[in-house]
């Protein structure tokens, strides 16, 4: 008797075994995070969602990593405080905002228009 091999992931070109919802582990995780198994987390930015967050409105869904970073960056350049940024973006606190700013290289003091 031969061992049965599990069917492949349903994403075109992926030959990893299926894990959940028809996807392999990698594509299932991408689907959970971004809603699309073909999008790498942190890659997709829906401008309307980022615009709503910056305007102080609820995003309507969970933000991707890239959307969160874009919102933090825009609010930083709009001179929002870390507390304001955390509240609008839905982060745990100022330390989370600082970690994102540090990753984006936004931890240096903001200068005036001629700096």
| Nearest residue to 42 via CA among 108, 103, 107 | 103
Domain boundary assignment for the chain: 47-104
| Nearest residue to 80 via CA among 45, 99, 55 | 55
The pLDDT of residue 89: 93
The pLDDT of residue 43: 60
pTM over the 0.75 mark: no
DSSP state of 17: B
Reported as a single tens digit per residue, the pLDDT across 13-51 is 888 998 888 899 988 888 887 777 887 765 667 788 889
| Nearest residue to 81 via CA among 67, 93, 69, 68 | 93
Are the C-beta atoms of residues 72 and 100 closer than 8 Å to each other? yes
């Amino acid at each position: 008797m031969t061992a049965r091999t599990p069917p492949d992931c349903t994403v075109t070109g992926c030959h990893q075994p299926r894990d959940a919802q028809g996807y392999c582990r990698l594509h299932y995780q991408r689907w959970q995070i971004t809603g699309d198994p073909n999008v790498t987390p942190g890659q997709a930015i829906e401008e309307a969602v980022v615009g709503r967050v910056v305007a102080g409105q609820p995003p309507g869904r969970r933000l991707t990593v890239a959307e969160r970073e874009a919102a933090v960056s825009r609010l930083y350049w709009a001179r929002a405080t870390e507390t304001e940024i955390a509240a609008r973006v839905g982060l745990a606190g100022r330390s989370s905002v600082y970690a994102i700013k540090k990753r984006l290289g936004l931890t240096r003091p903001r200068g005036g228009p001629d700096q």
